[in-house]
């Protein structure tokens, strides 16, 4: 460093008037990277920088989203006081007015339309404490059976599949530290490189150590790039693919008979069904050549250890539960589970995707992964909550089905906390119409999202920098987000808002918490003895151990690194294999002359979910300013399209306009559109309302569509307006 530079830095340092450091965890994906926000006041300017902090899961790494997360929480559009819609405009009001509005309208609905006419729509971006409290609010504070959450659109198939096969669902059965030593890895419908970027070093290390990696995805992605073998299947055919792999494994005698005999039920039925399965049929269905199917099956079967990871590519299908169970069948048949370097991982999506599905905001569930229909579970939780068992409602319906109930007039009031269902739900046009029918819609958000814009009342929520609480990460590790930045304006924490609502609904005595830790203390007890048992976890223990893996049964218990070493979680201690691929109700709409292409949807690296947060972050928004449709150039030409042209995509459910993007990396029968944008670019306007019969997951990953140039006058005007707003060259059309 030159003398001049030194002088410059010294004088800069002197200019720094104050520096504050705030601890937190990234508000986005399930890696829950630990971070610090460094806030510097230099003369009149405040600057912010986010840096990674060491921890057992991500070891200090951050991806581009995490590094820029603070930009949205300081954005000028952040809501900092309650807003009430008056004559079509939002006007700021006091908390007292807001809560009085809720009291009057919610009790009014209860009186005229019945208790179940109120509903709660929650989120897996909430902390465990908040997810737990929202479940309690619905059942005890509002006395309604109608509560569900955005995780239904995310990991419902993975959860149901794992519960059915293993008897319990903790996303990953091992810790990530085992990944580098495994010998064969199947990545089925997961794009970890873009969706959980800080997980990648574990897989890169495995590859360096000689692991054989097989990826299953209709597109080439940054993830398939690390694979030795890429099975580029037709979308929606993963059940057939998993069955074919298992058939070859059985045929070639690569099963672990001892394991099957001692630890697994159902193999005989499965093997009988496989004997009728024709591999050539599977080749035709999946579009995967026979030699590739053999290569994958033989390698996985022969290696001494192996792991299978699934994510939304195979799960967000109307046969998603079956697809998950099909891949788990492979692990059970080869005895690659419950042992070192072998296991199953459903790569968790949202920051608290795991914890938020364990503690009671799912329609059929009570805390600790208990069932709302089981009398012992009900009695236990009723006692923890200080109510009679009979007072607890029974199960309600799933997230999307709540909108159907609204449409039918059975639900007339809704509280949406931390979700943006107009963009994230299937059949989005219908969802919007049904939200418009509500007598009273209250949303709790940091921004006026597309959903919040429809609300009668919007309540301002705190961000990841302000809101302390626990989050259960991709490994099932319960972490403590130590957030303590002061709340801006009149903002409150989600848990405080829940308590305020309970108070005005007359149940305040059961919601009198002073801190997130107090709620956690109750959650510990509520989860005790349940499948997701957190009883042995405390804030202090998480601080000492840097996270604790559940189940953790009591204070002296160290937590559980590897599941199923001795037994599975079903009552008889055995896992259950599943016969799959034989049910007519899973028949998906195929491509046809009218809708000749498969549309699949997903994510890009720089945006998160409905984009409400990441589109407000200039550093992230600049990377992808608008949506697009990835299409193979040969297919594009066949449909009279050009690269970078505005395209109208139409399905049986609606139509949208986005820009084409030529890519040789996608199958010729498939197009891909990310779902981070709303309005005209909302790809969920195209997605069907059909749901998986086991878990009620929508089929986000396959919709038959047609595509054509979007060249009518109205569309050109829309594009010109968008170009003007984004500063893009409007002459392009």
Ligand X SMILES: Nc1nc2c(c(=O)[nH]1)N[C@H]1C(S)=C(S)[C@@H](COP(=O)(O)OP(=O)(O)OC[C@H]3O[C@@H](n4cnc5c(=O)[nH]c(N)nc54)[C@H](O)[C@@H]3O)O[C@H]1N2
Among 66, 122, 171, 236, binds ligand X (CB under 6 A): 236
- In the bound complex, what is the minimum distance in angstroms from residue 122's beta carbon to ligand SF4? 20
- CB neighbourhood size of 534 (10 A): 30
Task: Give the list of residues 6+ apart from residue 509 with CB closer than 8 angstroms, or none.
Answer: none
Q: Using alpha carbons only, give the angle 312, 314, 315 rounded to the nearest 5 degrees.
A: 55
CB 709 within 8 A of CB 646: yes
- Beta strand pairing call for 184-188 and 307-310: parallel
- Residues 51 and 67: their CA atoms lie apart, in Å, by 7
- CB neighbourhood size of 544 (10 A): 9
Interface positions, 415-434, toward ligand X (CB under 6 A): 417-421, 424
Interface positions, 189-248, toward ligand SF4 (CB under 6 A): 196-198
Among 311, 318, 330, 620, binds ligand X (CB under 6 A): 311
Among 22, 202, 447, 586, binds ligand X (CB under 6 A): 447
What does each C-alpha distance from 578 to 52, 239, 268, 330, 481 come to in angstroms? 42, 11, 10, 11, 38
Does residue number 82 form part of the binding site for ligand X (CB under 6 A)?
A: no
Does residue number 29 form part of the binding site for ligand SF4 (CB under 6 A)?
A: yes
- In the bound complex, what is the minimum distance in angstroms from residue 370's beta carbon to Mo ion? 23
Does residue number 154 form part of the binding site for Mo ion (CB under 5 A)?
A: yes
Taking the least distance from each CB to Mo ion, the nearer of 37 and 154 is 154
Interface positions, 664-683, toward ligand X (CB under 6 A): 675, 683
Does residue number 397 form part of the binding site for ligand SF4 (CB under 6 A)?
A: no
- In the bound complex, what is the minimum distance in angstroms from residue 66's beta carbon to ligand X? 10
- In the bound complex, what is the minimum distance in angstroms from residue 57's beta carbon to ligand SF4? 9
Identify the burial level of 170 via C-beta atoms within 10 angstroms of its C-beta, where 0-12 means exposed, 13-18 middle and 19 or more buried: buried
Does residue number 63 form part of the binding site for ligand SF4 (CB under 6 A)?
A: yes
Structure tokens at 58: 């991500």
Task: Give the list of residues 6+ apart from residue 660 with CB closer than 8 angstroms, or none.
Answer: 628, 629, 631, 636, 641, 642, 643, 644, 645, 646, 647
Binding mask 79-118 for ligand SF4 (x = CB under 6 A): ----------------------------------------
Does residue number 658 form part of the binding site for ligand X (CB under 6 A)?
A: no
Structure tokens at 431: 């969802």
Q: Using alpha carbons only, give the angle 514, 128, 399 rounded to the nearest 5 degrees.
A: 120
Does residue number 580 form part of the binding site for ligand SF4 (CB under 6 A)?
A: no
- Residues 106 and 104: their CA atoms lie apart, in Å, by 6
Does residue number 483 form part of the binding site for ligand SF4 (CB under 6 A)?
A: no
| Helical (H) or strand (E) element with 12 | helix 3-15
Taking the least distance from each CB to Mo ion, the nearer of 607 and 667 is 607
Among 65, 183, 325, 659, binds ligand SF4 (CB under 6 A): 65
Q: Helices 156-166 and 320-333 meet at what angle, rounded to 10?
A: 40
- Residues 426 and 700: their CA atoms lie apart, in Å, by 7
With CB under 6 A as the contact rule, which of the stretches 2-10, 57-65, 179-187, 542-550 interacts with ligand SF4?
57-65
Taking the least distance from each CB to ligand SF4, the nearer of 25 and 560 is 25
- In the bound complex, what is the minimum distance in angstroms from residue 695's beta carbon to ligand SF4? 25
Contact footprint for ligand X (CB under 6 A): 29, 123, 125, 150, 153-154, 188-191, 194-196, 216-219, 221, 233, 235-236, 238, 311-314, 316, 349-350, 417-421, 424, 444-447, 449, 461, 494, 600-603, 605, 607-610, 612-613, 675, 683-684, 687, 700-702
Contact footprint for ligand SF4 (CB under 6 A): 26, 28-29, 31-33, 62-63, 65-66, 196-198
Contact footprint for Mo ion (CB under 5 A): 154, 349
């Amino acid at each position: 460093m030159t003398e001049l530079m030194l002088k410059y830095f010294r004088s800069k340092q002197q200019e720094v008037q104050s520096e504050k450091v705030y601890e937190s965890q990234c508000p986005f994906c399930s890696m829950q990277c630990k971070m610090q926000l460094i806030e510097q006041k230099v003369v009149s300017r405040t600057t912010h920088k986010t840096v990674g902090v060491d921890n057992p899961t991500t070891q200090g790494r951050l991806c581009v989203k995490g590094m820029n997360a603070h930009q949205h929480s300081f954005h000028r559009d952040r809501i900092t006081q309650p807003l009430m819609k008056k004559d079509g405009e939002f006007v700021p009001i006091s908390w007292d007015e807001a809560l009085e509005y809720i009291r009057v309208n919610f009790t009014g609905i209860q009186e005229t339309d019945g208790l179940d006419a109120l509903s709660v729509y929650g989120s897996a971006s909430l902390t465990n404490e908040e997810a737990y409290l929202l479940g309690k609010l619905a059942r005890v504070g509002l006395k309604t059976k109608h509560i569900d959450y955005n995780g239904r659109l995310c990991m419902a198939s993975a959860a149901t599949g794992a519960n059915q096969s293993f008897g319990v669902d903790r996303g990953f059965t091992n810790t990530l530290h085992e990944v580098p030593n495994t010998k064969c890895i199947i990545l089925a419908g997961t794009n970890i490189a873009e969706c959980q970027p800080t997980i990648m070093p574990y897989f890169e290390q495995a590859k360096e150590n000689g692991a054989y990696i097989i990826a299953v995805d209709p597109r080439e992605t940054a993830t398939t790039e690390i694979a030795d073998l890429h099975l580029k299947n037709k979308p929606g055919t993963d059940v057939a693919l998993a069955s074919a792999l298992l058939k070859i494994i059985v045929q070639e005698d690569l099963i672990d008979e001892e394991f099957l005999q001692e630890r697994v039920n159902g193999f005989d039925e499965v093997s009988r069904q496989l004997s009728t399965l024709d591999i050539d049929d599977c080749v035709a269905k999946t579009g995967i050549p026979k030699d590739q199917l053999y290569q994958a099956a033989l390698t996985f079967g022969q290696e001494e250890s192996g792991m299978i990871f699934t994510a939304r590519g195979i799960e967000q299908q109307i046969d998603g539960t079956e697809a998950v169970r099909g891949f788990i069948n492979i692990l059970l048949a080869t005895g690659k589970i419950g042992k070192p370097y072998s296991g199953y991982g459903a790569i968790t999506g949202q920051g608290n995707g795991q914890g938020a599905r364990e503690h009671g905001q799912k329609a059929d569930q009570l805390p600790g992964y208990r069932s709302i229909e089981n009398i012992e579970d009900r009695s236990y939780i009723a006692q923890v909550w200080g109510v009679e068992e009979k007072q607890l409602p029974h199960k309600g319906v799933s997230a999307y089905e709540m909108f159907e109930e609204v449409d039918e007039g059975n639900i007339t009031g809704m509280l949406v906390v931390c979700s943006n269902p107009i963009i994230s739900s299937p059949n989005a046009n219908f969802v919007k119409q049904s939200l418009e029918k509500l007598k009273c819609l209250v949303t709790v958000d940091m921004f006026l999202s597309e959903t919040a814009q429809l609300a009668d009342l919007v309540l301002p929520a705190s961000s990841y920098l302000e809101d302390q609480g626990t989050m259960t990460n991709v490994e099932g590790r319960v972490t403590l987000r130590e957030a303590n930045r002061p709340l801006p304006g009149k903002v409150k924490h989600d848990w405080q808002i829940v308590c305020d609502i309970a108070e005005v609904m007359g149940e305040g005595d059961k919601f009198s918490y002073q801190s997130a830790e107090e709620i956690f203390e109750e959650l510990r007890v509520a989860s005790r003895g349940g499948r997701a048992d957190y009883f042995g976890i405390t804030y202090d223990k998480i601080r000492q151990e840097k996270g604790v893996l559940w189940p953790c049964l009591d204070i002296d218990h160290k937590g559980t690194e590897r599941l199923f070493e001795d037994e599975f979680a079903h009552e008889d201690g055995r896992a259950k294999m599943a016969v799959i691929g034989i049910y007519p109700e899973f028949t998906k709409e195929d491509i046809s002359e009218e809708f000749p292409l498969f549309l699949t949807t997903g994510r890009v690296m720089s945006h998160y979910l409905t984009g409400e947060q990441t589109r407000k972050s200039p550093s992230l928004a600049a990377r992808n300013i608008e949506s697009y449709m990835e299409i193979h150039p040969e297919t594009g030409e066949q449909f009279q399209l050009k690269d970078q042209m505005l395209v109208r995509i139409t399905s049986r459910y609606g139509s949208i306009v986005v820009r084409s993007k030529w890519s040789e990396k996608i199958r010729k029968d498939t197009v891909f559109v990310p779902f981070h944008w709303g309005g005209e670019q909302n790809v969920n306007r195209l997605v069907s309302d059909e749901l998986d019969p086991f878990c009620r997951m929508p089929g986000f990953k396959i919709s038959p569509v047609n595509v054509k140039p979007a060249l009518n006058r109205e569309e050109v005007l829309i594009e010109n307006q968008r170009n003007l707003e984004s500063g893009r060259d409007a002459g392009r059309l």
